Amino acid sequence: MEFINEEFFKRIFGKRKSNKKIESDVQNIINFLNENEIHDWDDFLNMKTFDREVVKSLINHDKTRDESEEIYFRIRMELSNNQQLREYLKELENKEDFERCTILLKKLSNR
């Protein structure tokens, strides 16, 4: 665990955008989902197609692709349980997205 250091990957691969706007967008979308009875990742996956498209448009509206991906990542991370986070971690490892892997490992260790 000591070897995996989020700061190391930020220096090597460059820091992902982590600004207040993205954090605010994530919180607003999470609040919107909760108000519409979407409280975890299973609920999100089981949404109707129209509902999912609404959320997708909220995520993508007026954002770059990188910003949208970051928002999606954070939403998935917040809604997922530990088992789902471990599965997501494997997906990210296969994509070699090591910075996000360290963030997920940090989240798992804090739960």
By three-state DSSP, how is residue 106 classified?
Answer: helix
Read off the pLDDT of residues 21-53 as tens digits, 9 standing for 90 and up: 899 999 999 999 999 999 999 999 999 999 999
Residue by residue, DSSP assigns 30-96 as: HHHHHHTT--SHHHHHTS-HHHHHHHHHHHHTT--HHHHHHHHHHHHHHH--HHHHHHHHHHHHHTT
At 18, list the tokens: 């982590």
Is pLDDT above 90 for 78? yes
Find the radius of gyration of the CA atoms of the chain.
Answer: 14
Name residue 68's amino acid. S
At 14, list the tokens: 């460059």
Name the pLDDT band for 12 (thresholds 50, 70, 90). Answer: low
What is the mean pLDDT of the segment spanning 97-110?
92
Average pLDDT, the chain: 87
Please state, as a whole number, how many other Cβ atoms lie within 10 Å of the Cβ of residue 97.
Answer: 19
Considering the chain, what percentage of its residues have pLDDT values greater than 70? 84
Confidence (pTM): 0.80
Is pLDDT above 80 for 88? yes
Name residue 76's amino acid. R
